[in-house]
Structure 1
Amino acid sequence: MRKSLMRLTLRQLQVFNEVCDLRSYSRAAEEMSLTQPAVSLQIRQLEELVGQPLFDYVGKKLYLTEAAEALQAASRDIFGRLENLDMQLSDMQGSLQGQLKLAVESSAKYFTPHLFAAFRTLHPEVNLQLTVVNRAQVVRRLSDNRDDVTIMSMVPQDMGLDFMPFLNNPIVAVAPPEHPLCQLDRVNLQDLQAYPLLVREQGSGTRRACEEYFKEKRVHFTQTLEVASAEAQRECVIAGLGLALLTRHAVARELSAGTLRELRVEELPLQRSWCVVQAKARRQSPVALAFAAFIRTERAQITALVERFAGHPPVRPASS
C-alpha cells in the first residue's frame, strides 16, 4: 500500500463524501458548518495524498474523476464497516444501537415514519436516516450501494437484490367531489380519457406502473399535465385541473375529509406491492438485519398500523 494513503484521515473522507454527494464545495461547507476555504483545503490535501485530481469542472458543474469514484467506493466501505463495528459493540452490550439508512420511493413516504416508529418501540436507540426519492433515483442508489434498506415497488430483476413484498400498494383514480364522473356508479378506464390527467415526472414508479397498464388496456390520454410530486398532484386535482392516479395511501386523508373522491373504475385499483429490498452483496449491519426481520415477522402489526394511518375511507355512494 502507498504510504501516503496511510495518512488519510476520516475527516478528510467525510468532507470528500459530502462534496461528492452535493457536487458543490459551497454546499458541502454549509452542510458541515465549515468555510468554503476549509473544504477546499481538505480536498487539496486529499488530492496530494491520492496523487491525482478528484474533481473536474465543466462549465459550472462539478464532476468526479475516475480516482474520485474509486475513493468514494472505498470510503463508503470504510464508514460502513465502522458503523457495523459500532452496532456489533452495542449488540455485545445487550442493546441494538446505530443508524438505519433507509431509502424509499416517494409514494411510500406517508407510512414509512409510522413503520419506523413501530420498529423503534422495540429498539429505542436506533436512529433513522431517511431519503425520499423517485424510482429512478432509488435504482441509482441501489446501484451505488448507498443504503441499508430500500422500500420500493417494481423491483429490478437484474441487480442481485433480495426483496420481499410486504404491503399492498393500490393505485386509484381520484377526482374533485364536483366532477361529473363522481356521480356515476361505475365507469371504465376509457371514460377517463376525455379529461386531463395529472402525471408524475419521468422516473416515478407510479407513473411507470400506470403507463404500462394504460398500454396493456389500450388507453391513451391526449391531455396530460406533468406534476413533480404527489402533494402537488393532490392540490391540482382539488383545484379542478384534472384527474390523477395515485396510491390510496397518498390520498387517504383527503378521501376521508371529502376533498377528493375515489372514482369507481372497473379496471382499478391497479394492485402493486411495496417491497423491502436489500443488495445481496452488501454486508448487512445488525440494525438493517433487525429492521428486515421486523417487517418479515410483524406482517399483521404492519398491516394494522397502515390501516389505522390510512383510515381506508370507503368509496362514497353516488349522489341521487
Structure 2
Amino acid sequence: MRITLRQLQIFRAVCESRSYSRAAEEMALTQPAVSLQIRQLEELIDQPLFEYVGKKLYLTEAAEALMRASADLFGRLESLDMQLSDLRGSLKGQLRLAVESSAKYFVPHLFAAFRRQHPEVSLQLTVVNRAQVIKRLGDNRDDLVIMSLVPQDMALEFLPFLNNPIVAVAPPEHPLCHLARLSLGDLTDYPLLVREPGSGTRKACEEYFQQKRAHFAQTVEVTSLDAQKESVLAGLGLALLPRHGVNLELATGLLRELPVEELPLYRSWCLVHAKGKRLSPVAQAFQTFIREERAQISALAGRFAGKIPEKTAAN
C-alpha cells in the first residue's frame, strides 16, 4: 500500500479533532489540502473513513481499524527514537500518563523526581475520573495510568506503590471539630458532598459505607475534587477526600480532618497498563523508577500529610 506517514498524521488529526477545519489549523494546512489527503487515503484503502450525521463527524469501522494500526505504527517509531537516544547515552521522549483526578496533586511531584534522573523526558498528563481511566485503558490511549481500585475484569498489569488515605474533612467552625473522637455514624446526620458517578473516591467510599452500614440521608453531588473542597469551605457539608488533595487546606487550618475511628480509609495508588502492552523505553524507565525508588516516593508523600513543612512554619 502507498499510504504515507504524512497522510496518517493528517488522518489522526481529523480523528482526534472530529473536524477537517480544526485538523487543518493544527497541521498548518488549508482545509482543501486536508480533504484531498483524506480522499486519497480513502481511495488507497477503498473504504470511506468518515461520515456526517447531522453536523457531527463520525469514524467508520475502517477508520477505527486504521486508527488502531496508525497508533501502533507511530508508537513503534516513537519507541525506536527513544531506543536510539538511549543508545546515545540519554533517554529522550514523552511519557503519556493518565491519572485519576485525586492523584493530580501528587503526580507532578512524582514526575519531577523522575525527571531529575532523566531531564530530557517530557510529560503529557491527562487528568480524568476512574470511569474515564478505564475507558482509556481499553482504548490503549496512554503509556501508563495511575489509579486506585484496579478493575478485576480486565487483563491488566499493576504495581501498587503508595497508600492513598481518604479522610473526613469539615470547616473549622463545624460542631464535629470540637469532639475528640467520632465514629463514622456520627457523620451521617450531616450532608455529605460526593463526587460524580465514575469517581474512584466515590466508589471506594460507597463500598466502605455499605460494609460499615453507614447511611447518609442527604448527599450533594459535586463534579470535581476542587469544587468539593470549596463546597466544604462554604459550609455546604462534610466530605471524604484523599489527604493528598487537601494537604494545603489541612496544613493552613482552612479545613480540619475529623478524628473518625474508622478512618482513614486506605487504598493504594497503582501504576497500571494492559497485559502484553509493549512499553516504550520512557515508560519502562518510569516503571523502574516507581519500583525501585520507594524510599524517595515515601518521602515525597510525606509532603502531603497535611502538615506545614518546618521551613514554611518557621517563616
Judge same fold: TM > 0.5, yes or no: yes
Amino acid at match of 1:156: P
Matched AA of 1:256: A
- Can you give the 5+ residue segments of structure 2 that lack an aligned partner in the other structure? 309-315
Aligned-partner Cα distance in 1 for 2:21–2:249: 40
Q: Which moved more, 1:103-112 or 1:183-192?
A: 183-192
Report whether the alignment pairs 1:274 with 2:269.
yes
Tell me the equivalent position of 2:230.
235
Does 2:6 correspond to 1:11?
yes
Q: CA 1:22/1:300 → structure 2, altered by over 3 Å: closer, same or farther?
A: same
**1:26 CA drift (Å):** 4.1
Q: Which digits, 9 at most, give the CA deviation of each residue in 1:204-234, with x for residues without a partner?
A: 1111111111111222222222111111110
State the AA in 2 paired with 1:138. Answer: V
- Alignment pair present for 1:95 and 2:96: no
Task: Give the Å deviation of 1:198.
Answer: 1.1
**TM-score, normalisation: structure 2:** 0.92
**Post-superposition shift, 1:245?**
1.0
Does residue 203 of the first structure (1) align with residue 198 of the second (2)?
yes
Counterpart code for 2:98:
A
The answer as to 2:50 corresponding to 1:55 is yes
Cross-structure match for 2:171:
176
Unaligned runs of 5+ in 1: 315-320
**Structure 1 residue 295 displacement after superposition:** 0.6
Aligned length: 308
Partner of 2:127: 132
| Partners of 1:35 and 1:227 in 2: CA distance | 42
3-state SS of paired residue (1:271): strand
Corresponding residue to 1:83 among 46, 60, 78:
78
- Structure 1 residue 90, shift from structure 2 partner: 0.8
| 8 Å Cα contact 1:253/1:311 also seen in 2 | no
> Which amino acid letter does the alignment assign opposite residue 159 of structure 2?
M
| Separation (CA, whole Å) in 1 of partners of 2:172 and 2:36 | 59
1:312 matched to 2:311? The reply is no
Residues 235-291 of structure 1 deviation map (CA, whole Å, 9 limit, x = unaligned): 111011111111000000000111111111121111100001122221111111111
* Structure 2 counterpart of 1:86, one-letter code: D
Q: Secondary structure at the match of 2:270?
A: strand
One-letter identity of the residue aligned with 2:138: S
Name the residue aligned to 1:68: 63
